[in-house]
Amino acid sequence: GEQVEQRPPHLSVREGDSAVITCTYTDPNSYYFFWYKQEPGASLQLLMKVFSSTEINEGQGFTVLLNKKDKRLSLNLTAAHPGDSAAYFCGFMATGGNNKLTFGQGTVLSVIP
Amino acid sequence: AQTIHQWPVAEIKAVGSPLSLGCTIKGKSSPNLYWYWQATGGTLQQLFYSITVGQVESVVQLNLSASRPKDDQFILSTEKLLLSHSGFYLCAWSLGTSSAETLYFGSGTRLTVL
């Protein structure tokens, strides 16, 4: 099955700084990629879904980069604020499959005011 | 608009006791439905999925079972809880019209087994 490695497990940054979370994968097949945010005690909120053909994806206050050569997906928060403090999970889903979403191990981000 | 409701919000149960968690989707007919489990501080693991009433596929069992008695309802249960069942259980839905669909999650049930 697909192996997903998400780093770092914990990340602490100051308000206004950038934060980068990375996931690497092993299966070369085409995928959809997802980033979800989970605030403490809450459910998962979809941040972005990207397809394997799109390398740069802009969101509100963040960018998702896909490096297919290195099999790396990254979430870049450009100017973190305390409301960004949460757990972030990457997810991978093979096309043509049964919608099985495989998650990374998660990153707990703390933004210090 | 579609809504997903999970119940109960939280449960504290004894080892060996039975469990039933529920999930209802409103505003979408024939969705795909999923159960995910998250150990405290851990990642999310898919347990079951269902593409239609009466049909449930097991991904990882963990001594749990799932059923889909109605188009809009997904139930997770066991007759005998283990300590290892503690965690956060999330129900999710997707459109059910294609592959590689976005999953939308419910608010979850926090289960503590003592």
Tens of pLDDT along B31-83? 999 999 999 888 899 999 999 999 999 988 789 999 999 999 999 999 999 99
- A27 token code pair: 């299966």
pLDDT band at A11 (very low <50, low <70, confident <90, very high): very high
Question: Distance (Å, rounded) from C-alpha A17 to C-alpha A2?
Answer: 32
Lowest mean pLDDT among A53-57, A58-62, A100-104, B108-112: A53-57
Q: Which amino acid is at B92?
A: A
pLDDT band at A29 (very low <50, low <70, confident <90, very high): low
Query: What pLDDT digit, counting tens, does each position of B30-45 carry?
Result: 999 999 999 988 889 9
Determine the 3-state secondary structure of A83 from DSSP: helix
Q: What is the pLDDT of residue A30?
A: 62
Q: What integer best gives the mean pLDDT of chain B?
A: 93
Q: What is the pLDDT of residue B20?
A: 98
Percent of chain B with pLDDT over 90: 78
Percent of chain B with pLDDT over 70: 99
- B44 token code pair: 């999310």
Chain A within 8 Å of B46 (Cβ-Cβ)? yes
Of residues A1 and A9, the one with the higher pLDDT is A9
Chain A within 8 Å of B7 (Cβ-Cβ)? no
* Contacting residues for B102 by C-beta, under 8 A, at least 6 apart: A34, A46, A49, B94, B95
CA-angle at A60, arms to A56 and A66, nearest 5°:
20
Q: What is the pLDDT of residue A7?
A: 96
Nearest CA-CA distance, residue A102 and chain B, Å: 7
Nearest CA-CA distance, residue A2 and chain B, Å: 13
Stretch A27-31: mean pLDDT: 67
* Contacting residues for A53 by C-beta, under 8 A, at least 6 apart: none
Q: What is the pLDDT of residue A101?
A: 86
Q: Is the pLDDT of residue A96 over 80?
A: no
Q: What is the DSSP letter of B62?
A: T
Residue A40 β-bridge partners: none
Nearest to B93 by CA among B3, B36, B33: B33
Nearest to A35 by CA among A18, A25, A47, A51: A47
Percent of chain A with pLDDT over 90: 58
Q: What is the pLDDT of residue A2?
A: 62
- B31 token code pair: 């969705």
Cβ-contact B39, B87 below 8 angstroms? yes
Q: Which amino acid is at B94?
A: S
Nearest CA-CA distance, residue B9 and chain A, Å: 11
Of residues B62 and B15, the one with the higher pLDDT is B15
Contact A89 B99 (CB under 8 A): no
Cβ-contact A102, A91 below 8 angstroms? yes
